[in-house]
Amino acid sequence: MFEDAAPIAADWFWETDPAGRFSHFSPEIERFFGRPVAALLGAERSAFAWEAGEEGLGRYRMALAECRAFRGLTYRYRHPDGVPRWFEISGRPRYSPAGDFLGYRGVGSDVSDQHRTRDALVRAHAEITEQNRRFDAALENMSQGLCLFDADHRLLVWNRRYLEIFGLEPGALDVGMSQRAIIALLVASGRYRVGATVDSVSEGTRTSLTGDGPTSILRELADGRVVAAIHRPMPGGGWVATFEDVTERRRNEARIMHMARHDGLTDLPNRTALREIGTERIGAARDGSRSGLAVLCLDLDRFKPVNDSFGHAVGDGLLKAVAERLRVQVRAGDTVARLGGDEFAVLSAIGDAEDAAALAQRLIRSISAPYQLSGITVEIGMSVGIALADLGEGDPESGRDPGIGYDIERLLKEADMALYEAKAGGRGTVRLFEPQMDETARERLGLERELREALQADRFELHYQPLVDLACDRITGVEALVRWRHPERGLVSPATFIPLAEETGLILPLGGWVLRQACRDAAGWPEGISVAVNVSPIQLRHRGFAQSVVAALGESGLAAERLELEITESVLLDDTEANLETLHTLRRLGVRISMDDFGTGYSSISYLRRFPFDKIKIDRSFVRDCAGSRDAGAIIRAIVGLGASLGITTLVEGVETEPQLATVRAEGAQEVQGYLFSPPRPFAEIAAMLAAQTIPAREPVGTTLAA
Ligand code: C2E
Ligand code: MG
Ligand code: MG
C-alpha cells in the first residue's frame, strides 16, 4: 500500500483524506509525537503544534494547491515533554482508479539529531568568529608588543604595539618573515644601541629560549629606551615574544634605589649606604690592597640655635652648604655621608692617627668659616670623633690579622664614642677613640638606666642650703639642691647625674619634679623665706617652661615673689631670643631671676646687660683664695660694684671660713652662702632651722656626697 513511499527512510506513515484531515498514522508516530494515534486522527494539519519556516510552508501550500508531491519539508514540533523535535515529511497525492483525488499519503522521519548538530555548528561558528574578533581587539589594544613565531622561526602574528615600540612602519612585516630578517631590519635601521649586531641580538633570543619557562632579556635601544623582551616557548615549537617599554619603570627603580641610600636634603650617602661602602672598603683591604681606614663622626656645634632662630629654610640651606664644603675637602675615593640631623661622617683611606686628626682639623676650619644664607650671616663649628682601623699590617701586639676584627659597625660606634668625648671637651674638639671610652660609655648607659628607674621610683630628694643676708645676719632664703638616694651608692651628687640627665632629656621630668617639690616645701615656711631653684638651659629652652612654673606656684600656693630661678650664662649663649622672652615672662609674674656661677663663663659681664637679673651669685672659685690673693678680692669688689650700679643683689657662694667671710663682707657683698653657715640639709632639718631663725654655729661642716 505504501510501496511508492520509498526511498526516503521513514519512521512513520501517514495519510489524509481529500479534505486534508489525517486519516491514518502508523503506530510509530506515537513515540515521536508523544500522543496516541487516536488523538491525532481526524484533526486538520493546522491543529497540530508544528511549525515550518516560511520557505517550507510556501512550498508545501503550492504543492497542495497544485496537487503535486512534496519532499523533505522540515517541521519543528513542540513535544508535550517540552523538548523541541524536528521532523521531515514527504508526500504525494493519491487517486482512486477512477481518478478521484483521495488525499495525500506520505512518510515522516525524526530529524531532531541532525538539526541539533547543525544548530551547534552554527553556534560554534558564531563563537569562533566572535573569539577572533576579541582576540584581534585584545592583540591590538595590548600595552605590550607581541610576536608569535612558529617552530621554523617564522612570524605568524604581531600587533601594532610591537611596531610602535621598535619604530616600524605598519607594512614592514609579513607573515612568514624569519625572525633573523626582522632583527636584520631593526639593526639596519639603527634601532638598537650602538654595537648591537644581528648575531648578538639573535643570540640573546636563542639563550633566553633555552630555559624551561619564560625568560626576560633587556634590549637597550639607540634612543635610550629599555625594552624588556619575554620569550615563552610554545608546546608545538615556536614561541611567543612580548615586549614592554620599561624605561620609566627602570628609571623609577633607580630613583627609589638612590633615595633608599641617600639623604634627601644633601644627596649625600646615608647611614645605610655608608655601612655598605665601609664594609666593602674593609673587605677590599682584607683582599690585599693595604692602607688603613679612618671613620670620622662629625657633629655641628650651634646648629640648633641657627635652625631655631632663623627657621628651617635657613637650617636646610646651612646643612646643604656644610655637605658641599665637606665634599670639597675630602679626597677622591673618600666618602662623606649624612647620618641624620646635624651629624655627618667621613670614610677616608687613612691609617695614621696624625693624618686623621689633620683631616679633622681641616674639616673643622672649612666648616667654621661664615655662611651667607638668604642675606643672613651665620657661623657654626664642628666637633669630630675618629676611629681608626689599621687594615694594612695588622697589629703585632694583639696578633690581629690585617683587617680582621674590624667591621664598620664597630668603627662607627667607636668614632661616635670619641665624638661624645670631643663634645664634652668643648666646641671644635677632635678626639681619637681610645679603648677606655668604651668602658665610660658602658657606665654611662648603666647610669642612664638607673636614672630612669630612680625617677620612676621617686628616689630623688631635695636638700636646702641657707642664703644669709649679711646686713642682718639672717636667713632670707634657701637654695634647693637635688640629691639621688641610690640603693648602693648612698646620696649621689647632682654634679654626677645632672649632666647625664641633661643629655638624655631626663632633666625635663626631673627638673619639673624639683620645681614642684621646692614650691610645696617653701609654701610651709615663714613668709620672708624665698626658695631658689636651679634651672637647666634645657628646661628653659623647652616650650611650656613658663607654664610649668605658673602651675607649680598655683599648686603649692607659693607667692611668685618667693621663688627665685637660678640660671647659668650658658642659657644666654644659646638660642637667646626665645630664652630671654621666657625669662621676661617669668619676671613679669614676679619670679626673681638669678645668674648662677657668675664669673666662670667667657663673657659673664656682657650678659648682665642683656637681662635685668635680680641677683648675681659669684662662683665659689673666687672665694676660695680671696683671703690670700688680692686679685680674687679685687674681682669680687668689682662685681659687687657693678651689681650695685645696676641695682642687682650680689651673693658670694662657697664661703667656708671666717677670714673668707670677713673679706667678702669688706668687699661689700650683700649675701653669702656656704658651709660656714650650713651645708645643704634635708627638709626636716632646714624647716626647724627656719622656724627658729637660727644660723648654726659658724664652723666648716663637711658634707659627704657620693660622686
Ligand atoms: P650650684 O647651683 O652652684 O649650687 C651650689 C653648689 O655648691 C652645691 O653643690 C652646694 O652644695 C655647693 N656648696 C655650697 N656651699 C659650699 C661651700 O662652702 N664649699 C663648697 N666646696 N661647696 C659648697 P651641689 O649640691 O653638689 O650641686 C652642684 C650643682 O648641681 C649645683 O651648683 C647646680 O648647678 C646643680 N644642681 C643641683 N640641684 C639642681 C637641680 O635641681 N637642677 C639643676 N638643673 N641643677 C642642680
Ligand atoms: Mg645654684
Ligand atoms: Mg652656683
pLDDT tens, position by position, 153-202:
999 999 999 999 999 998 899 999 999 999 999 999 898 888 888 998 88
Note whether 482 and 422 are same-domain residues: no
Same domain for 177 and 151, yes or no, is: yes
* Closest ligand to residue 539's CA: 1
CA-proximal residue: ligand 1, atom 11 (nearest): 680
C-beta separation of 326 from 332 below 8 A: no
Tell whether 96 is covered by a domain.
Answer: yes
Domain check: are 207 and 279 in the same one?
A: no
Residue 268 has pLDDT above 80, yes or no: yes
* Å from CA of 672 to ligand 3 middle: 11
Average pLDDT over residues 314-342: 94
Beta strands in 391-455 (DSSP E): 430-432
**How far separated are the first and last CA of the chain, in Å rounded?**
137
CATH number for the domain spanning 546: value is 3.20.20.450
As a whole number of angstroms, the distance between CA 140 and CA 159 comes to 6
Report the C-alpha gap between 501 and 520 in whole angstroms.
23
Is the shortest distance between the CB of 175 and ligand 1 below 6 Å?
no
Least confident range from 77-91, 336-350, 353-367, 462-476: namely 77-91
Cis peptide bond prior to 494, omega within 30° of 0:
no
Position in ligand 1 atom list of the atom nearest CA 502: 44
CATH number, domain of 76, equals 3.30.450.20
pLDDT average, residue stretch 653-682: 94
Residue closest by Cα to atom 43 of ligand 1? 534
Task: Tell me phi and psi for residue 679, to 5 degrees.
Answer: -75, 170
Q: Which ligand is nearest to the CA of 704?
A: 1
The environment of the single-atom ion ligand 3, i.e. residues with CB closer than 5 A, is 596-597, 653
Residue 427's Cβ-side half-sphere holds a number of Cα atoms within 13 Å equal to: 13
Least confident of 28-37, 107-116, 400-409, 623-632: 400-409
Q: Is 594 helix (H, G, I), strand (E, B) or coil?
A: strand
Amino acid at 86: W
Q: Considering just the CA atoms, what is the radius of gyration of the chain in Å? A: 52
Phi, psi of 223 (to 5 degrees): -85, 10
Asked, for residue 123, whether it belongs to a domain, the answer is no
CB of residue 680 inside a 6 A radius of ligand 1: yes
Could you say which of 186, 220, 250 is where a domain stops?
Answer: 250
Do 355 and 470 sit in the same domain of this protein?
no
Contacts 24+ apart (CB under 8 A), 682-686: 682/461, 682/463, 683/461, 683/462, 683/463, 683/464, 683/521, 686/463, 686/464, 686/466, 686/478
Task: Tell me, in angstroms, the distance from the centre of ligand 3 to residue 535's CA.
Answer: 11
Kindly give the distance from the C-alpha atom of residue 105 to the centroid of ligand 1, in angstroms, as a whole number.
135
The CA 249 to ligand 3 mean position distance, Å, reads: 64
Neighbours of 255 (CB within 10 A): 10
Cα of 422 to ligand 3 centre, how many Å? Answer: 25
Q: Measure 656 CA to ligand 1 centroid, in angstroms.
A: 14
CA-based nearest residue to 304, from 315, 313, 292, 291: 315
The residue whose grid cell reads 489524509 is 16
Domain final position from 88, 110, 132 = 110
Name the H helices within 160-311: 160-165, 179-188, 198-210, 247-261, 271-286, 303-310
Nearest atom (ligand 1) to Cα of 493: 26
| Ligand 1 contact, 525 CB (< 6 A) | no
Nearest ligand 1 atom to alpha carbon 518: 41
> Looking at the structure, do residues 41 and 185 belong to the same domain, yes or no?
no
- Would the CB of 90 count as within 6 Å of ligand 1? no
Instruction: Answer whether residue 92 is part of any domain.
Output: yes
494 CA closest ligand 1 atom index: 30
Tens digits of residue pLDDT in 543-559: 899 999 999 999 999 99
| 307 C-beta closer than 6 A to ligand 1 | no
Question: Which value, to the nearest 10 degrees, does the dihedral of the CA atoms of residues 485, 490, 491, 493 take?
Answer: -110
- Average per-residue pLDDT for the chain: 87
* pTM check: above 0.85: no
Q: Which residue's CA lies nearest to atom 7 of ligand 1?
A: 654
Residue 362 covered by a domain = yes
What is the band of 405 on the pLDDT scale with cuts at 50, 70, 90? low
Distances (CA, A) of 155 to 159, 176, 328: 11, 5, 58
Q: Are 297 and 418 in contact (CB under 8 A)?
A: yes
Q: Grid coordinates in use for 154?
A: 617564522
Which atom of ligand 1 is found nearest the CA of 507? 44
CA distances from 95 to 67, 116, 240, 357 (A): 10, 37, 72, 134
Asked whether 342 and 304 are in contact (CB, 8 A), the reply is yes
> Hey, which residues does 89 pair with through a beta bridge?
73, 108
| Closest approach atom of ligand 1 to CA 675 | 18
Q: Which residues of 299-318 are buried (b: 16+ CB within 10 A; e: fewer)?
A: bbbbbbbbbebbeeebbebb
Percentage, residues of the chain above pLDDT 90: 53
One domain for residues 628 and 526: yes
Distance 534 CA to ligand 2 centre (A): 5
The three three-digit cell numbers of residue 456, written as one number:
620612676
Angular region, 67: left φ>0, alpha ψ -120 to 50, beta rest = left
Nearest CA to ligand 1 atom 12: 654
Identify the residue with better confidence: 121 or 7.
121
Q: Is the pLDDT of residue 698 over 80?
A: no
pLDDT at 606: 74
**288 pLDDT tier (thresholds 50, 70, 90):** low
Over pLDDT 70: what percentage of the chain? 90
What's the pLDDT score for residue 10?
Answer: 81
The last residue of one of the domains, among 250, 271, 290, is: 250
Q: Within a domain: residue 277?
A: yes
Angle value at C-alpha 653, between 650 and 659, nearest 5 degrees:
100
Give the pLDDT band (50/70/90) at residue 486.
very high
Query: Is the domain of 543 the same as that of 517?
Result: yes
Give the closest residue to 536 by CA, choosing from 563, 497, 562.
Answer: 497
Residue 234's pLDDT is 86
Query: How many other C-beta atoms can be found within 10 angstroms of the C-beta atom of residue 10?
Result: 19
205 and 97 in a single domain? The answer is no
pLDDT value of position 578: 84
What average pLDDT score do residues 496-515 get? 93
Shared domain check, 492 and 400: no
Judgement on whether residues 95 and 37 belong to the same structural domain of the protein: yes
From the CA of 568, give the closest atom in ligand 1. Answer: 34
> How far apart are the CA of 430 and the centre of ligand 1, in A?
30
Three-state secondary structure call for residue 635: helix
Encoded amino acid at 320, one letter: K
Burial of 630 (0-12, 13-18, 19+ CB in 10 A): exposed
pLDDT of residue 627: 64
In which residue are the cell numbers 503506530 written? 27
- Asked, for residue 400, whether it belongs to a domain, the answer is yes
Query: Mean pLDDT, to the nearest integer, of 10-31?
Result: 89
- Would you say residue 116 lies in a domain? no
Domain carrying residue 200: 142-250
The pLDDT score that the predictor gives to residue 456 is 93
Rounded average pLDDT over 348-369: 94
* Ligand 1 center–CA 447 separation, angstroms: 20
Q: Calculate mean pLDDT across residues 305-316.
A: 86
Q: Is the CB of 88 under 6 A from ligand 1?
A: no
Cβ–ligand 1 distance for 482 under 6 Å, the answer yes
pLDDT of residue 403: 46
Q: How many domains does the chain have?
A: 4
- State phi, psi for 107 to the nearest 5 degrees: -125, 160
Return d(Cα 597, Cα 621) in angstroms, integer: 9
Could you say which ligand is closest to the alpha carbon of residue 495? 1
Q: Which of 96, 61, 54 has the alpha carbon at shortest distance from 75?
A: 54
Per-residue pLDDT, averaged over 35-60, amounts to: 74
Instruction: Say what the pLDDT of residue 207 is.
Output: 80
Q: Is the CB of 568 under 6 A from ligand 1?
A: no
Q: Is 654 in the pocket of ligand 1 (CB under 6 A)?
A: yes
Please give the number of the atom of ligand 1 that sits closest to the Cα of 676: 18
100 in helix, strand or coil? coil
Ligand 1 mutation target, pool 534, 549, 615, 660, most atoms within 8 A of CB: 534
Interatomic CA distance for residues 319 and 344, integer angstroms:
10
In a domain, 196, yes or no: yes
* pLDDT tens digits, one per residue of 523-547: 999 999 999 999 999 999 888 999 9
Ligand 1 midpoint to CA 581 (Å): 26
Is pLDDT above 60 for 673?
yes
How close is the Cα of 481 to the center of ligand 1, in Å? 6
Residues 335, 237 share a domain = no
Query: 45 with 171, same domain?
Result: no
Shortest-distance Cα residue to atom 13 of ligand 1: 654
The mean pLDDT of 248-260, rounded to a whole number, is 90
Q: Which of 287, 259, 277 is nearest to 345 (CA)?
A: 277
Q: Which atom of ligand 1 is nearest to the CA of 653?
A: 15
The identity of residue 154, as a single letter, is: R
Distance (angstroms) between ligand 2 centre and the Cα of 429 equals 28
Strand-by-strand arrangement of the 343-348 sheet? 335-340, 343-348, 293-301, 381-389, 430-432
